[in-house]
Amino acid sequence: MNSQEALEAARKYVSDILSFFGVNVEVEARIEDDIIELSVPSTDINSLLIGRNAETLRSIQLLVSTMLRTKDAEVNRVNLDVADYKKQRAEKVAAQAKEWIEEVMRTGDSHIARLNAADRRIVHQVATEYPNVQTFSEGEGRDRKIIIAQQSS
């Protein structure tokens, strides 16, 4: 399955899931950096589609990605967003990361936070803007955490 077919299959798969819940909206789909970006506009079932701590959103994303892998799609990495939830979440995490980094720079004490992989990635990215700060992750699975520390001289 070429990338265009994969894009259309992913869009249709999410549309089919939505129609199961009686929601008929246009799912935006595009490929960016070898990732299929799917965007579902705001509906009256946002909370159901996103779920607690975005668990449902990540599960749907995994279903789409798995479906594409079983069809040997050229592109099978998927990023699904519902009502810009991930975008808004990323902005909140980035703002929180800046506060943590500034506290680390002010006090010299390290900061430890238990975050999911996507949120840890955002913190690592924000930290690149600060030359005197380093970030690293420790632990396994759900116990994985990010550590923000001053860079040792």
Q: Domain ranges in the chain?
A: 3-83, 88-150
Start-to-end C-alpha separation, the chain: 51
- Residue 114 corresponds to which amino acid? R
State the Cα angle at 27 between 24 and 31, rounded to 5°.
165
Residue 143's Cβ-side half-sphere holds a number of Cα atoms within 13 Å equal to 2
pLDDT of residue 153: 56
Pairing verdict, β 145-150 and 111-113? antiparallel
Would you say residue 2 has pLDDT above 90?
no
Question: pLDDT for 35-86, tens place per residue?
Answer: 899 999 888 888 888 988 888 898 999 999 999 999 988 877 899 999 999 8
On the question of pLDDT at 119 being above 70, the answer is yes
Q: What is the pLDDT of residue 43?
A: 82
Taking a C-beta distance cutoff of 8 angstroms, is the pair 39, 46 a contact?
A: no
Query: Residue 124 — very low, low, confident or very high, per pLDDT cuts 50/70/90?
Result: very high
Res 12 pLDDT > 90: yes
Q: List the structure tokens of 81.
A: 């967003």
**Does domain 88-150 bear CATH number 4.10.140.10?**
no
- DSSP of 117-140, one letter per residue? HHHHHHHHHHHTT-TTEEEEEESS
Inter-axis angle of helices 3-20 and 55-70, to 10 degrees? 140
Architecture of domain 3-83: 2-Layer Sandwich (3.30)
Taking the C-alpha atoms of 32, 92, 15 and 72 in order, what is their torsion angle to the nearest 10 degrees?
40
